[in-house]
Structure 1
């Protein structure tokens, strides 16, 4: 504000000094006065430039810092959001809101700290000084300002809705582009390159046409302003000439009045432009607030309990779960218990609810009824931070981060030694190919694209094994492994002392993967239709028998 006020004072002082040069210097042929006043004008111009530079610097600094804080808050909100909240907005829209929407707010903040604060002060100051120079000439503004207001209002009327629609069209572009990138192999496999290009071109063209239309409308503002300023100056010269002829006004005052008139009209235009761009930022702010105001259904207790030092255990006590908006339960009366050293395996058809069940353990969702207990304590009584600290999980999709193998391994256990990492890699049957790649400092590209599917799975399994936890979850994470590797990995898991101190939960499609589990849960349509050992279920459970018959050839022996 201080720098801006300095700039405005300097800008408003220059026309008066110009008037003095004309009336007192040129008219009276006083060369000394002209040089003296010219020096003042140069000094004021230099001070005004410094004030403007200071104002621009701090305006830019503060707007960028605000953008940084908003992006950090959005990222934090998304990071700690439940899966349900995350899916409500969508990945593509979240990217747009964290980038483009924040930029719109930053741009408006710069304009507010520059134009919106300066324009009213300049408008009032120039208006007062213009009136002092010639009260009669200010009548010109009774025509110029209403004309300018009408044109500006018309431009705002047509431009503001288009600005709002641009943000949604950016969402569509991001969504289409992201799907094209992540699904590029599928697109090529089905020879749909042209279809996807046309789909993206449609979204791109839609955004482009809307952008062209809105910026063409806004660009009319500047020629209109120029025309009105020129017309105003013509009116000032015509009417001012009459006042000069009648000796009611000095020539210098008319020149100063023309400059003040230009400042008034430009200031009015600046205020008007703010009202054009603010609605776009307003729409962006509303979209950001939609994310920030999302209320999570998964919340911590007011006074979270600490997980006890008791032996690891996991209990589902008559748990029912329903997705938001769903008519039927996704899980019905899930009831089982396991203690340290035991392996619980979950098997069932696609869509039967296996992953839904294990997603309740890290509390990505909360059950509709029933209770889940970890180490004897209800999950709802423990903070999510403590729950996640007591659980180590491998999701269905093997996720690796760009960096090195070491940086990925220590993700859940930052203080892990190289010896511990190599042990986890040995258990996961991954040490051989890691050595071939160059050891723990071997590069991992984005999403682990420089490794095969089976290698990625073994690396994330090793990462899960490395972390000290009460519950180890492997959600269909053996699917890319061959039978031999699968068998060796499970054998080593049962021998690993750290893993055996916790409960192991394995979700699998293959009977051979679950056959040696202490407790096998057979799930169908969200219900546990059988539980027991492999031999018990093989003898008594029809659903398990059907799965077994569909996978095993006649006479084939299950590797247990």
Structure 2
């Protein structure tokens, strides 16, 4: 929580504190004015004095209202600014986090931390700038004023306050751990809900709607049971405090009436004392409520700091090497080993090859052989364990990530489109792209025909994730988006999988004719996609078991031969 406080404006805290002090002083002085009206005005029948003090009370009440508005304004504004800053910092941190770190926390948890956890911090910040300032000052001030009115009656608090502390402390003891567990249960609920939404087509295809409903109901019921339990426990607080406050009033009236009958206490002072007693008990209850919510906010702060304190595992080097773009494009893997965080076995082992400008490198292999992992090492989404990846004769670890990725056009395995228009998605690779450049890229990607057939052309709407396009159309649009960007290396991570053979062949032919100054890296499952590549890499369980042209591998690589025989007929192989 201390880290969160440091992010707040010192001026706003000072202003909120100043207004709250003014409000508390005004509120504390009003009961004294009331006692003066009764003792000196009502009892003596002095109407002028009553009017005089009445106007003074109105002035202090107005001052209290203005101060409360000022305090609320600065407290609310600062809480919202802190929330905005935290959300921005979390988002920026996640954007620059390595893939390992992103996978470790998970999407559902990151959403919860950015929304629910930040809201907890905002709420406690606002409460802190109001109640956390108001309650202790009022508690001390009201205690002093009550003692000043009648020292003997203050002995009532020697019984009342410890009694309230015992009851409220017991409630907190049982409630706080449940509040903390609710944060984790919220994570799990969001995870199940998100999986159900993103995988709704799979759920329907396998007729598993009932199963997913039960799964969600289980997570929902778990969260609900915890929420009911903690709110039931907390609900005892109000009636207990009300009972104690009512008992305090009875005790004050009982003893106060006795003191009035003996002439030791004036009626006005008794009324003022009762008001101060209520202020003391209410302040104590507000402090208690704050200490109920602080552990929840503390748990949220820990979760937020876990994201903000993530150290960048794939960071820019202190001394960067310039990437000479005047050189002919080159890509070199030198004895590369890579292991995912926490994994026992290597994901890639002894990967060694090089490619030059104008060459096409194809990567083929079974599922889980490390094809996508290899491609992800080129833009440095991960860092190698040993060996090196070199782009234009520079080790990628010695280049700024921005400069490195500026030279790479990547089409990921999952075709991702953003909500907006086709033009906006195309300009993602090159913000100042002209319509002519966009249409050219669409033509190479074999997407021009279906885009031009749309009523609004480049201005056609793209729904979330590109849901209003087929899988093949999404892939072609993603390929076009990458091609618009001038790059030294174009990497296609299994980006042709949803294309039919005719479109696949036409796209590869267009790439050969139009992308002649760059290196093209293609991850594929089909032999027909890789057959014309200059270099074919055959992976098996992370190892490079074959390297060469189609004709060479057909004669020398057993794994490649198995892939061919599984996809082609005997007469086609020849």
Q: TM-score, normalised on structure 1? A: 0.98
Aligned to 2:299: 283
What does residue 98 of structure 1 align with?
114
Structure 2 segments unaligned to the other structure (5+ residues): 1-16
Q: Which residue of 1 aligns with 2:3?
A: none
Residue in structure 2 matching 1:451, options 469, 473, 492: 469
User: How big is the shift at 1:149?
Assistant: 0.6
Q: 1:475 — aligned with what?
A: 493
Give me the whole-angstrom Cα distance separating, in 2, the residues matched to 1:43 and 1:297. 61
Cα distance in 1 for partners of 2:414, 2:104 equals 21
CA distance in 2, matches of 1:306, 1:54: 54
Deviation by residue 1:25-51 (Cα, 9 ceiling, x = unmatched): 110011121122112212211221111
2:258 maps to what in 1? 242
Distance 1:366 1:187 in 2: 36
Q: Give the whole-Å Cα distance in 1 for the aligned partners of 2:573 and 2:173.
A: 76
- Which of 348, 363, 368 does residue 331 from structure 1 map onto? 348
Q: Report the Cα offset of residue 132 of structure 1.
A: 0.7
Q: Which residue of 2 aligns with 1:13?
A: 29
Matching of residues 367-406 of structure 1 within 5 Å = 367-406=384-423
How large is the Cα RMSD of the aligned pairs? 1.1
Name the structure 1 match of 2:565: 549
Aligned to 1:436: 453
**Matches of 2:126 and 2:68, distance apart in 1:** 13
Looking at structure 2, the residues matched to 212 and 530 of structure 1 have their Cα atoms a distance apart, in angstroms, of 61
CA–CA distance in structure 2, aligned partners of residues 242 and 315 of structure 1: 96
- How far has the Cα of 1:315 moved from its partner? 0.3
SS in 1 for 2:436: helix
Contact 2:79/2:125 (CA < 8 Å) preserved in 1?
yes
Q: Partner of 1:198 in structure 2?
A: 214
Q: In 1, are the aligned partners of 2:565 and 2:573 still within 8 Å (CA)?
A: no
Counterpart of 1:214 in structure 2 is 230
Secondary structure, aligned partner of 1:191? coil
Find out whether 1:178 has 2:225 as its counterpart.
no
TM-score by length of structure 2 reads 0.96
Please name the residue that 1:265 is paired with. 281
2:294 match: secondary structure: helix
5+ residue gaps in structure 1?
none
Correspondence for 1:149 among 158, 165, 176:
165
Superposition deviation, residue 299 in structure 1: 1.9
> How far did residue 557 of structure 1 move?
6.9
1:8, CA displacement in angstroms?
A: 0.6
Return the offset for 1:2: 1.6
For 2:313 and 2:29, the matched residues in 1 are separated by: 61
CA displacement 1:396-452 (0-9 Å, x = unmatched) = 100000000000001011011110000000000001111112211110000000000
Report Cα offsets for 1:290-314 as digits up to 9, x if no partner.
Answer: 1122223222211222211212110
Structure 1 residue aligned with 2:334:
317
- Further displaced range: 376-385 or 298-307: 298-307
Alignment-derived partner of residue 364 in structure 2: 347
Q: What is the rounded CA distance, in whole Å, between the counterparts of 2:385 and 2:556 in structure 1? A: 31
Q: Secondary structure at the match of 2:352?
A: strand
